[in-house]
Amino acid sequence: MSDVWILAHDPAAGNTLARSARALGDRVIAVSIGAGVLAAADLTLVIETAAQALPEAYAQPVAELLRSRGAKLVLADAGTQSRLLAGQVAAHLGVSPVTAAGITPGEPLVVTRLAFGGLAVATEELTADVAVLVLSPGALPASDAAGAGASETVEAVPAGGLTLVETRAKGGETVDLAAAKRVVGVGRGFAAEGDLELARTLAATLGAELACSRPLAEGVDWMPAERYLGVSGATIKPDLYLAIGISGQVQHLVGVNHSKVIVAINSDAKAPIFAHADFGVVGDLYQVLPELAKNL
């Protein structure tokens, strides 16, 4: 019987991960750091976290637990907190965490990840005696098999030095760009936040979701982070992707190049996006978008 271990600090994400983990083992064992018992796992080792302590502060005891129980395959999701936890646990186990965008089960396990901003795909064999994988969204199919739901409590003491003072929920909508049939993407070609209204109007006319390049979400904060596309953001597969004022760097393109049709509007005829577009308009978005609105 093969065991696959997961690291969970959040009940919803933990159950999702437990369901995916089934693709790689017969028994799913969760280490839950403040996430309670996971119904989708067969066994949960529950660590109660102290108030003001971050789940990441339990990395060392979690690593000791994994080692003492002989864990060989450990999975985490790619969220910010999970990544830190996985990286630290792996360090205490003496291995590198391995980013996995795709996994081929077997002996040894073979994983793929993006390299050079999405310019290449690296295929790697796992050679260390324990594997800590950080799964990109969609790396494994989710099964709907229920878990046995057993649990054990484990005592653990967090490392000091990190005190959570405050958590502010980021409110706002959640969006499933991956499911959108049409997507309009905006980039730094927009000079001011208010000008995005031009793109919003177009998106509404086309029945499209609005998305963006990374600098518009991280840096100027004009758009929420879950709306940026690319190697480190969302990946989309719509029927239509319309990129406006986006240069088309490889880190962006890798998130959109599975679109059926790509359309680009950019004032620079030499912008790389045109080489990856089915239909391109060389022009100033401030002139082209109002004219386009008249014609749709």
Ligand X SMILES: Cc1cc2nc3c(=O)[nH]c(=O)nc-3n(C[C@H](O)[C@H](O)[C@H](O)COP(=O)(O)OP(=O)(O)OC[C@H]3O[C@@H](n4cnc5c(N)ncnc54)[C@H](O)[C@@H]3O)c2cc1C
Interacting residues toward ligand X by CB under 6 A? 117, 187-189, 213-215, 228-233, 245-247, 249, 251-252, 255, 265-268, 271, 284-286
Cα-trace Rg, the chain: 22
Look at residue 189 and give the partner it binds from ligand X, other proteins, none, a contact being a CB closer than 5 to 8 Å depending on partner kind.
Answer: ligand X
Exposed, middle or buried by CB within 10 Å (0-12, 13-18, 19+), for 129? exposed
| Residues 54/81, Cβ–Cβ less than 8 Å | yes
| Residues 37/153, Cβ–Cβ less than 8 Å | no
- For residue 41, the Cα-to-chain-centroid distance in whole angstroms is 22
- Residue 277: CB partners within 8 Å, gap ≥ 6? 243, 262, 263, 264
Look at residue 51 and give the partner it binds from other proteins, ligand X, none, a contact being a CB closer than 5 to 8 Å depending on partner kind.
Answer: none
Tell me the per-residue interface mask from 109 to 148 with other proteins, x by CB under 8 A, - otherwise.
-xx--xxxxxxxxxxxxxxx--x--x--------------
Look at residue 236 and give the partner it binds from other proteins, ligand X, none, a contact being a CB closer than 5 to 8 Å depending on partner kind.
Answer: none
Q: Minimal distance in Å, beta carbon 178 to ligand X?
A: 14
Q: Which of residues 172-191 bind other proteins (CB under 8 A)?
A: none
Q: Minimal distance in Å, beta carbon 271 to other proteins?
A: 10
Site size for other proteins (CB under 8 A)? 94
- Identify the residue among 11, 34, 36, 87 touching other proteins (CB under 8 A): 87
- Residue 169: CB partners within 8 Å, gap ≥ 6? none
Considering the rule CB under 8 A, would residue 197 count as an interface residue with other proteins? no
Side chain identity, residue 64: E
- For residue 50, the Cα-to-chain-centroid distance in whole angstroms is 28
- Identify the residue among 48, 153, 193, 279 touching other proteins (CB under 8 A): 279
- Which residue's Cβ lies closest to ligand X? 230
| Residues 273/296, Cβ–Cβ less than 8 Å | no
Q: Minimal distance in Å, beta carbon 116 to ligand X?
A: 9
Q: Minimal distance in Å, beta carbon 254 to ligand X?
A: 8
Distance CA 267, CA 247 (A): 10
- Identify the residue among 23, 34, 39, 60 touching other proteins (CB under 8 A): 60
Considering the rule CB under 8 A, would residue 231 count as an interface residue with other proteins? yes
From 24-32, 75-83, 145-153, 192-200, give the range in contact with other proteins by CB under 8 A. Answer: 75-83
Distance CA 237, CA 234 (A): 10
Q: What is the secondary structure of 202-251 as a DSSP string? A: HHHHHT-EEEE-HHHHTTS-SS-GGGBBSTTSB----SEEEEES----HH
Q: Minimal distance in Å, beta carbon 164 to other proteins?
A: 6
Q: Which is nearer to ligand X, 143 or 232 (CB)?
A: 232
